[in-house]
Structure 1
Amino acid sequence: MPDETQHEAVRRARVEERLQNPALREVIAQAIAAGEVPPVLVSEQDAELLDKGDDLESVLSLDPLEAIVRRFGRPPLLIENDEVVLQPLPEFDAGTDVLIKGVEPFVKSVGRVEFVNHDMEWGGTGWVIDEPTATSRVVATNRHVAKLVAARVADGSGVFLRSPAGILYKARLDFKEEVHSNPGDATPILVTKIIYLADDASPDVALLRIEGEPDLPSALPLADEEAESDQRVALIGYPAYDSRNDKNDQARYFQGIFDVKRFAPGFVMQALGGGQALSHDCTSLGGNSGSPLISLENKRVVGLHFSGQYGVQNNAVGVGTLRRLLAGERPVGRARGPVEKAPTEAADGAHAATFFAGREGYDPRFLGKKLAAPWPVLDAATEATLAQPSDEVPDQPFELRYTHFGVKYRADRKQPLMTAVNIDGEHSVRIKRTRDKWFADKRIPADIQLSQADYSDPQIDRGHMVRREDPNWDVAATSINDATQLAKDANADTFHYVNAALQHSQLNQGRQLWLGLENYILDSARTKGFKTCVFTGPVFRTDDPEIVDGLPVPREFWKLVVMPASGGKKLHATAYLLSQGDMIRELLEKRSRVEAVEGFVLGPYRTFQIAIADLADATGYDLSAYIPADPLGQARIGDEAVSTREPVFVPLDSFEQIVT
C-alpha cells in the first residue's frame, strides 16, 4: 500500500468501518445498479468488476466512496412545526435519532436572512448567538451573506448600502419558513445594526443585532472546545437549489423542496488545528451559508458553516473564533499599501468675508492671452439658483473666489453647481495633509451651506470638487516640495463646505478610475510642466434620491479638462463622466433613439469619456468654446454619430483608452 498521510488513513478506516453496515452497503449497491452514480465516480473497469460480482470494497476507490457516502447517507431532514421529521439513518449509530431530538429546541433560534428593497428575497441562514438584553439578540451569519446588502466601515462594523435607485437596503430574520408553513406564520424581525462585518481576509463571519419583544428566540450555547474528528454533528439552515451540485443528487435528497428549514446530520471530517480547517460532511446547499454546526452529543454549537465543495467537503469557522468575535476581539488589520491617511477631523470653523481679501479666484486667461478658457455659460434659470457672494465683482459674477480656483454655488441644493481650477504643473507644491478642518464661508448665508452634521451618515462622503492638491502651486516656489504660503492658502481653501458635494456609497463602485483621472491630470501637468484648467460639477436632477434630511444627492459627476494643444496655439479639451449611464440613456431618449434606449441597460458606476457637445446637451450649459477642441467629438466615431444622433462616449478601464 502506498504511504498515506494520517488524515487519509483516518478517512480510509472510517470508510471501511461504515461499509460493515449492511443497510448502507445495500443503498450504495442499489444506487450504482440504477445508474445514479456519475461516471466520474465509477470507472468502466469498476463497472465491469461489479457485473462480475466482485466485492464492493475492492471496486470503489477511497475518494469516490467518500463522495458516495455523502451522496447517499446524509439526508437533509425536513422541519415542520419546529420539529425534525425523522427518517432512517443507516450510516449513523443507534440512538442518533434520540440525539437529534435532544437538540430539536435549537430549531427555533435559526432563521432565514431575508433582504428588503433588494432583487434577492433572501441570502442565507443566521442564528442567535447571544442575548445582550431581554429585547435584543445578536445573530451570527456569514460575511458573504451580509455583504449582499452591506459594506464594512473603518471600525469593523457594517452599514447598509443603497439600491441603484438610492433606496436603503435592509435585512431581517425569519425564524419560520418551514415546509407546509403558511405565509401568515412568518414574523420577520428587522436587523437594526451590523455589529461586525469581517473583511475579505478574515474568517467569514458577520454579527447582526435584532430587537423586539422579550419572547425573542434564545441564544444557542457555544461549545467550550473545538470539534473533534468523527464527531456527530448537524446543520440547521435553509438549503436552496444550487447549480454547483449534481441535479440528480438534489432531486433525490430534496424532492423539489428548497428554501425551507432543514436539519442535516453528518460527521466532522477534519478537526480544526495544525494548519487544517474545520470540515464536515453534512448535506448543504447555497442557502446554508451561515448555518450553525451543532455537536449532537454535546448539544453545543461547534462552528459556523460557510462553504462547501461538491463531493469533497464542507467548511466551518471554529467555535473559538466565534467566541473571540463575540467578546469584542477583532482580527489585526492588514496593510493595503501606502495611503495618505486623513487625520481625525476637527470641529467646523467659519471664515468672514475679510478672510478672503486678495483671493483672485479662477483665471480664464491662465493658459495664455489667445487661449481663453471661460466658465461654461449658464442660462437665466440656472443663474437664478446661484448664491451671490458679498464680495462679488462684475467681471466674475456669482463666483466665490479662492486661491487659484472659484466656485459657483447652487443655493437650493446646498452644493456647488460647478468649480473651476487653474493647475500649474511646473510650479506644483506638495502640501502634507494635516488634521482636516472644514469651514463655512460667510460671504453667503450660513443656512444654505452644509456642515459636519450633514455628513454623519457613514454612507455619505464629502466629495471635494476642487481636489486638495490641484491649486497648490506658486511661481515663486523653488521646488515641488517648497511649501510657500500661497500654496498653503490654496490647500486650506479647498476645505470649505461650498467646495464639497454629497456623494453616496454607490459611487465607490466606480470611483477608482475617476480619482485616478485627477491624479493622471495633475501628474501629467507636473511631469510635462504644462498648465491646465479643470471644471467639475455634479449632475443635478429632479429625481435624485433624497438621503440626507430630504436633501437630494447627485447620482453623477462631470469633469471638463482644458489645456494647450501641441504647439500651444489652440485649445485641447476633453470631458468625462462618473456614471452608471443615466446621462447617456437620457440623451438617447431625448434624441428619440427608441431601439437604442430599449437595449440600454444601466451598469455599475464607471468613468466615461464623453463628447463635450453631448455633455453640453445633457447639462444645458453652453460649452461652445470647447466643442471644437474636443478630439472625441472630431474623431471618425463622432462623424458617424452625427448622422445617427448617437451620444459619443468611451467607457474607460485605463487611461490609455482616453481619446486624445
Structure 2
Amino acid sequence: MISGLVFSDGALREEFLDRFSQLAEAAQAQLDGLERLEGGLTVDDAQEVAVGIDEGTYRLGDRPGLEAIIERFTRPVHLVQRGTFTDPPDAFPDSEEIGRRLEQARALLDQAIPSVGRIDVRNHRLDWLGTGWMVAPDLVVTNRHVAAEFAHMKDGAFVFRQYSGLPPVRVDVDWRHEHRIPEESRFRIEEVLWIEPENSVDVAVLRVAEHSYENEPRPRAIELASRVEFEQARVGAWVAVVGYPAYDSRNDAADQQRIFDGIYNYKRLAPGQVTALVQQDLLHHDATTLGGNSGSVLIDLASGKAFGLHFGGIEGDRNFAVQAPRLRQILDQLS
C-alpha cells in the first residue's frame, strides 16, 4: 500500500532513486508489460512520482507499473521461518534502509513473533479464519468478525457455533504454520471470553489452554503500549504487522502475485508506518496486508510493544487497526 509517508524517510527515497535502474530492470519480468504501455521508465519519472507522493500531489493510479515497484520496494512482505523473519521469497531487490530498520528491531520482533498464531477451525466450512496473538498470560485477542464465525451469544454467554448438525466448532491456534516448516504448535481455544458489540471496535478475546496438544507451554504475552507511549510515537512510527495473509479475491490478483510470490496462508511480517490516529480508538497504517491478516498485531519497531490490532483495509487507500490503549480498556473491563 502506498501512503503519503512512503518517502517521508529521506534516506529511503534517496535509496529508491539511486537504485531505480536496478529496480526497473528487475521489475520488467514481473510487470506484465504495464510500464511498456506507459512508455517506459526513467529515473526522472521516478523522481517526479516520489516528490508528488511526498508532497501529496500525486494521484495514485496514474503510473500503475511504477507504483508496483514502489510498493514492493518500500512495503515488502517477509516470510517467517523458525520464529524469525527472512527475506521475501522473490528475486526482487530489497531496500537496505528497510532492512536496516528491521535488523535493528530483530531482537524485539523475535520476542513477539512466536506469540502470533493462526486461528484454525474444525466442523466449519473453512479450515482457518484469521490471526490472533497473546495479549495476556492466558488470553488471545483477535477480531470480532473472526470470532463471530465460530461463536455467538446464547443465554447470556458466548458459545461455540454448531453448523448443519455437526458438532460445535472446535477452535485451535497454531503459533507456527510457517512456510516449508512442518512443525506445529497447536493450542485449544477453551472459551470465548468476550466479543465486542457491532457498534464498538472489532475485538474479541479468547481463553487459550495452558499447554499445547504436545504439552508445550503457552507463548508469552505481547506487552501493550500505554497511552503515553502511543501518543509519544504518533504518526510516522514504524511498525511491523505479523499475521497470516490469505489470497483475497477482492484485491488485484497480479499485485498479490508480485508481492506475495503466490505464497499465502503462512506467517508473514510486513513493515510499514502509522499514517493516522483516529480519536482514541483506531489508527491507520500502510503495511502490506491481505484478508487473513485480520487479527494481526502491529509491533512498534522502537519498543517491541503492540501498537494495535489490525482488522481490515481498503486496497490502495489505508489499513485499519484498534489502538493498543483501547485494547487495554477492554481487558481491564474483563478482569
Q: Which residue of 2 aligns with 1:175?
A: 175
> Quick check: 1:71–1:249 contact (8 Å CA) kept in 2?
no
Structure 2 CA distance for aligned equivalents of residues 55 and 234 of structure 1: 29
Partner of 1:57: 47
2:13 to 13, 19, 33: 19
Of 211, 220, 223 in structure 2, the residue corresponding to residue 221 of structure 1 is 223
Q: Counterparts of 1:52 and 1:70 in 2: how far apart (Å)?
A: 17
Question: After superposition, where does 1:417-566 map in structure 2 within 5 Å?
Answer: none
CA contact 1:236–1:293 (8 Å) conserved in 2: yes
Counterpart of 2:85 in structure 1 is 84
- Cα distance 1:24–1:147, how it changes in 2: closer, same or farther (>3 A)? farther
In structure 2, the CA distance between the partners of 1:293 and 1:12, relative to structure 1 (3 Å rule), is: closer
Cα distance in 1 between the residues matched to 2:67 and 2:284 = 14
Give the partner amino acid of 1:304: L
1:637-658: per-residue Cα shift (whole Å, max 9, x none)?
Answer: xxxxxxxxxxxxxxxxxxxxxx
Separation (CA, whole Å) in 1 of partners of 2:22 and 2:74: 9
What displacement does 1:33 show? 5.4
Amino acid at match of 2:85: V
- Aligned positions of 1:218-367 closer than 5 A: 218-225=220-227, 226=230, 228-273=234-279, 277-328=282-333
Detail structure 1 runs of 4+ shifted over 6 Å in the superposition.
Answer: none
| Cα gap change, 1:56 to 1:95, in 2 (>3 Å) | closer
CA distance in 1, matches of 2:287, 2:43: 31
Q: How many Å apart are 1:168 and its aligned residue?
A: 1.1
The counterpart of 2:135, out of the listed 117, 129, 134, is: 129
Please tell me whether the aligned partners of residues 152 and 199 of structure 1 are also in contact (alpha carbons under 8 angstroms): no
What do the CA deviations read for 1:51-83 (whole angstroms, capped 9, x no partner)? Answer: 687442335752428954334422211111112
Deviation at 1:272, TM superposition (A): 3.7
Q: Which residue identity does 2:299 align to in structure 1? A: I
Contact 2:307 2:323 in 1 (8 A): yes
Aligned residue for 1:328, secondary structure, equals: helix
Cα RMSD, aligned residues only? 3.2
Percent of aligned pairs with the same amino acid:
31
* Number of residue equivalences: 308
Aligned partners of 2:74, 2:190: CA distance in 1, in Å?
Answer: 40
User: Secondary structure, in 3 states, of the residue corresponding to 2:265?
Assistant: coil
Distance 1:35 1:167, change over 3 A: closer
Aligned match of 2:91: none
2:113 counterpart (101, 104, 107): 107
**Contact 1:235/1:294, CA 8 A, preserved across alignment:** yes
Contact 1:152 1:198 in 2 (8 A): no
Structure 2 counterpart of 1:108, which letter? P
Residues 419-438 of structure 1: CA distance to partner in whole angstroms, max 9, x if unpaired? xxxxxxxxxxxxxxxxxxxx
Q: Letter of the aligned partner of 1:19 in structure 2?
A: R
Structure 1 residues 179 and 32, CA, compared in 2 at 3 Å: closer, same or farther?
A: closer
> In structure 2, what is the Cα distance between the partners aligned to 1:251 and 1:206?
31
Describe how 1:118-157 pairs up with structure 2 within 5 A.
118-131=124-137, 137-153=138-154
| Per-residue Cα deviation, 1:299-335 (whole angstroms, up to 9, x for no partner) | 10000000012211211110111000010169xxxxx
1:164–1:181 CA distance, 2 compared to 1 (3 A)? same
Distance 1:305 1:53 in 2: 35
Question: 1:207 is matched with which residue: 189, 205, 208?
Answer: 205
* 2:122 is the counterpart of 1:116: yes
Assess if the C-alpha contact under 8 Å between 2:152 and 2:161 holds in 1. Answer: yes
Question: Which TM-score applies when normalising by structure 1?
Answer: 0.43
Q: 3-state DSSP class of the match of 2:132?
A: strand
What's the counterpart of residue 55 of structure 2? Answer: none
Per-residue deviation, residues 199-223 of structure 1 (Å, max 9, x unmatched) = 2111000000012238211100111
1:95 Cα offset (Å): 4.2
* Separation of aligned partners in 1, 2:18 and 2:147: 42
Contact 2:196–2:203 (Cα < 8 Å) also in 1:
yes
User: Is the partner of 2:181 in helix, strand or coil?
Assistant: coil
Distance 1:325 1:98 in 2: 32
TM-score, scaled to structure 2: 0.80
Relative to structure 1, the CA distance from residue 38 to residue 200 in structure 2 (aligned partners, 3 Å threshold; closer, same or farther) is: farther
Contact 2:284/2:318 (8 A) holds in 1? yes
Q: Is the 8 A contact 1:162 1:168 kept in 2?
A: yes
CA distance in 2, matches of 1:120, 1:31: 37
Q: Are the structure 2 counterparts of residues 248 and 326 from structure 1 closer, same or farther at C-alpha, using a change threshold of 3 Å?
A: same
Q: In structure 2, how many angstroms separate the alpha carbons of the residues matched to 1:295 and 1:189?
A: 26
1:179 maps to a residue whose letter is H
Q: Is the 8 A contact 2:282 2:320 kept in 1?
A: yes
CA distance in 1, matches of 2:114, 2:43: 49
C-alpha displacement of 1:170: 2.1
Letter in 1 for 2:226: D
* 8 Å CA contact 1:277, 1:315 repeated in 2: yes
Query: 1:252 and 1:272 mapped to 2: Cα distance?
Result: 31
The structure that has the greater radius of gyration is: 1
C-alpha separation in 2, matches of 1:211 and 1:54: 57
String of CA shifts for 1:528-560, please: whole Å, max 9, x gaps: xxxxxxxxxxxxxxxxxxxxxxxxxxxxxxxxx
CA change 1:146–1:255 in 2 (3 A) is: same
Mapped to 2, the partners of 1:104 and 1:82 lie a distance apart of 7
Kept in 1: contact 2:240–2:301 (CA 8 A)? yes
The SS at the match of 1:94 is: helix
Q: Which runs of 5+ in 1 are unaligned?
A: 1-8, 132-136, 331-660
